Each structure stands twice: as C-alpha cells, then as structure tokens.
Amino acid sequence: MFELVFYGVIAAVALGILVPRYLRTQKALREPIGGDQCVACQSTQVTTFAPACYRCDGCGFQWGDGMAQFAAQQRAAEVQKLDPEQRKAYIRAELNEAQAHLSAAAPLLDHAGSQLGADILIGGGIGTGDMYSRNRTEGMVQAARELGLAQKRMSNAAAAHGYAAQQENLDVGGPLLAFDTFFDSFVVDALSHGQVNDLKQKHARMSQIVAQAKHALDG
C-alpha cells in the first residue's frame, strides 16, 4: 500500500512539473515571430520581403513564421519551369525519397512496439534507467522524425502537381515521453501503446498515398 501511495506521489509531482513546462513551450512555439528586430544580431533595420518573412538589412539573416511556406512556394515555382519530363522525374525522385524515409520508420515503430510489450510484461519500476522505456521513447522520436522527412518529400511532390498535400500531426507527445522516461507504470505504457499505434496508422496512410502516387505517375 505504501509503495502504491509513494508511486502515486512521484507521478503527481512529475506530471506537475513536466506537463506545465511542455504547455509553456508549446505556447511559446505558437507565438508568431515578430519582425521588429533581427533575432540574430538584434538590429532594428529589417525588411519584410514576404508575408511573415523578414530579412535583416545588417547581417542578412532571414527568419519568420512564413519562411517555410515562402520556401515551398519558391521551390514549386522553380519546378513549374521544368518541362513535363523533368517535372515527372523530379516528382518521382521526391516520392522515392519519401518511400525511403517511410521504410526507415517501419522497423523503428516495430521495435518501439516490441519494447512496449516487454515493458508491460517485465516492468521497470521507477527511475530513468528503465531500458525498455528509454528504447521505446527513442524509437518513437526517431520514427516521427522519419515520417516528418517523408511528409516533406510528399509535400514537394504535391506542390509540383500544383496542390497542397495533407499534413499529418506527427507530435509524439512531449510530456508523455518525458514522463515515461522518469516514471514507468501500466497507465503510461497503455498511453504509449496508443501513441505507437497512432504513428503506425499514419505510416500506413502515408505509405498508401506514396504508392498510389507512384502508380499514377508511371501509369
């Protein structure tokens, strides 16, 4: 009974620290990056060259929340200048790269699932030395990274066709992952199981989209 209460207190303390910290970080990341001052040299001599895109007149650094969209638009404009065969080759190359990243993510997700099964059966107790929790966490983060790279390539291919690709939410849950490496419990394992399955479903959807796109390209 004492052990159960002790674990409960540790869990409450961990959640009380990690979750608010994660929420503050996410809120900060959602805040728009202003263009009043250069984020590199703090110069106030700044030029807006696209929506939410800024260039420092002093050091030349470029930043802003619109940079990713601006870069994608620039890349799509360059691709549109290619002749049909060159554009087709570009799209095929992007889809092949996406497929390579998806292939790299598959064993990582399978490994994360196997580590989860071992963790539930064996259990690691409290502490950061739980091998299964650590391996699962690392595998999920690496898999999400590969899926993110695949999604970027898929977006490039879609832009070459003149449309925007659907974006999957690949956030693997910062507070849960941090909590999982600190305190191991059946509840955390169950939540992690849901995360692994969610990533696997997104992997399957993305793989199907890439396969269909390649078939249509070669058809």
Closest CA to 33 of 53, 19, 17: 53
pLDDT of the residue at 78: 87
Q: What pTM value is reported for the model?
A: 0.64
Q: Where are the alpha helices (DSSP H) in the chain?
A: 2-30, 67-80, 84-122, 131-161, 174-182, 186-218
Give 117 or 157, the one with higher predicted confidence: 157
Average pLDDT of every residue of the chain: 75
Q: Give which of 126, 136, 103, 114 is closest to 206, Cα–Cα.
A: 103
pLDDT value, residue 101: 96
pLDDT in tens, 82-125: 898 999 999 999 999 999 999 999 998 888 777 655 554 455 44
Which residue type is seen at 218? D
Is the distance from CB of 120 to CB of 180 less than 8 angstroms?
no
Tokens of 213: 């796109």
Instruction: Using CA atoms of 62, 66, 67, 70 in order, give the dihedral in degrees to the nearest 10.
Output: -120
Cβ density class 3-27: b for 16+ within 10 Å, e for less: eeeeeeeebeebbeebeeebeeeee
pLDDT digits (tens, 9 = 90+) for 169-193: 766 554 445 445 444 555 555 566 6
pLDDT in tens, 31-80: 566 678 888 898 989 999 988 899 999 999 998 888 888 888 888 888 88
- For residue 4, give Cα distances in angstroms to 9, 67, 150, 177, 211: 9, 50, 43, 22, 49
